[in-house]
Amino acid sequence: LKWEDGIIWVNYAIAHVTEFIAGDDRVLLTYDGEFDSERVQGIRQKLKANPVLKLFGYANLSDKYGSLHNDATENADQFINGDDQRAYDRLMDLVRENVAQPGNEHRHTG
């Protein structure tokens, strides 16, 4: 597979996406037994006040055991950074444009 083919496929796929669902209320912002810090409380308040905001999960793979470990600190850092949300918003703009195309009127966005 050449990069060109991959890029063409991605562009084709994005041009036809009419629904995309992201976000999960199971994304961790604290580790087991930790109480919410002011920072985490602020994130939770923002998420509750604005349902458009999404919390994207980050995790690390253990070199030693091969197990996946949620990274609550990175989850909070990336939410505050906002890059994931901005990328998601751009993607959803494309999805809404796709839905507005003739023949897609009855499709839904996530």
What's the pLDDT at 108?
58
Average pLDDT, the chain: 88
Ordered by start, the domain boundaries in the chain are 3-100
Average pLDDT over residues 68-84: 95
Pick the closest to residue 40 from 55, 20, 50, 24 (CA basis): 55
Higher pLDDT, 10 or 95: 95
Task: Note the pTM of the prediction, 2 decimals.
Answer: 0.79
24-62 pLDDT per residue, tens: 778 999 999 999 999 999 999 999 999 999 999 999 999
In 34-110, at which residue ranges do the beta strands (DSSP E only) sit? Answer: 59-61, 68-70
